[in-house]
Amino acid sequence: MPEQSQPAPGVAIAAPHTAAVDAARTIVEAGGNAVDAAVAAAAALTVVYPHMCSVGGDVIALLRTSDGSTTCINASGAYGSAASVDQLFETIETMPINGPLTVSVPGAVSGWAALLDAGGSLPLRNVLAPAISLATEGFPASPGLVEMIELDRDALITDPGLRAKFFVDGQPIPVGHLVVQPELARTLTDLATDGLDSFYRGHTADRFAAGLKKLDVPVSREDLERHRPIVEEPLVREFDGFSVATAPPNSQGYT
């Protein structure tokens, strides 16, 4: 049973790692609102929960404002334009599990930006500060993270960066091992300084696109430049006296 953190008074915070809950609570106690807290928690999860959350992932969020209206933010990225037709046909029957063809334009950071634009109240540097601190100072590896490293060992150990970060003498790091991520701290710090848009249209985008190219990922600098999150109305249906909202396609909705 994971340790439970107590949220700030009047605010409910849920996340799969206590460090993310603590990040959100810190933001609320500093005067931030629910949107600030949600983005702070999401950023913290990219540090402490990398097997499930990443700046290279996507965000699909529902935002309900004080006037009762609900908005969907779909920040999922498109497939890379550099992929050939032959490559697409290679994966038409079964989606690949790993490798360059599994990577699309990451929408997560644009989703954070859209959320903060819609209702954030604190400066970006404040919102990202807990995540930057976790990446810089490190965190103890959780049982869930270590389990996933062990399950995906054969794939992870072939990548030099992942091998250096999550393996010691060729073996997965143990539970409690201090995980320090200076490279991720640098990226988050650059985003806090230059703005989240720099992930797609700034020097962070330049570094990211260059790294993808070295790995033969068919996502180009131009693909990053073109990316925009979609802000739209959710699908709403009445059920047993309640209005139930979910994100429209391409989201899977409730699963």
Write down the pTM of the prediction.
Answer: 0.91
pLDDT at 73 > cutoff 50: yes
pLDDT at 5 > cutoff 60: no
54/127 same-domain check: yes
Q: What is the pLDDT of residue 82?
A: 82
Nearest alpha-carbon partner for 76 in 58, 63, 52: 58
| Range of the structural domain that residue 70 is part of | 18-138+180-246
Nearest alpha-carbon partner for 22 in 2, 44, 54, 39: 44
Is residue 94 in some structural domain? yes
Nearest alpha-carbon partner for 146 in 159, 156, 138, 137: 156
Number of domains in the chain: 2
Share of the chain above pLDDT 70, in %: 95
132/168 same-domain check: no
Nearest alpha-carbon partner for 204 in 214, 216, 217, 192: 192
- Give the confidence band of 253 by pLDDT, cuts at 50, 70, 90: confident
Collapsed DSSP state (helix, strand, coil) of residue 140: strand
108/48 same-domain check: yes
Is residue 29 in some structural domain? yes
Give the range among 35-39, 102-106, 248-252 with minimum mean pLDDT: 248-252
Share of the chain above pLDDT 90, in %: 81
DSSP bridge partners of 75: 59
Q: Which segments of 63-156 does DSSP mark as H helices, in order?
A: 85-90, 108-119, 124-137, 143-151, 153-156
Q: What is the pLDDT of residues 116-147, one digit of tens each?
A: 999 999 999 999 999 999 999 999 999 999 99
| Euclidean distance between CA atoms 128 and 246, whole angstroms | 27
For strand 235-239 and strand 230-232, is the pairing parallel, antiparallel, or unpaired?
A: unpaired
Q: Which amino acid is at 100?
A: P
How far from the centroid of its chain's Cα atoms is residue 22's Cα?
17
Q: What is the pLDDT of residue 28?
A: 95
**Using CA of residue 118, residue 196, residue 29, residue 177, what is the dihedral sign?**
positive
Q: What is the mean pLDDT of residues 155-166?
A: 94
For the chain, count helices (H), then strands (E). Answer: 12, 9
161/65 same-domain check: no
147/134 same-domain check: no
pLDDT at 86 > cutoff 90: no
229/155 same-domain check: no
Q: How many residues does the chain have?
A: 255
125/174 same-domain check: no
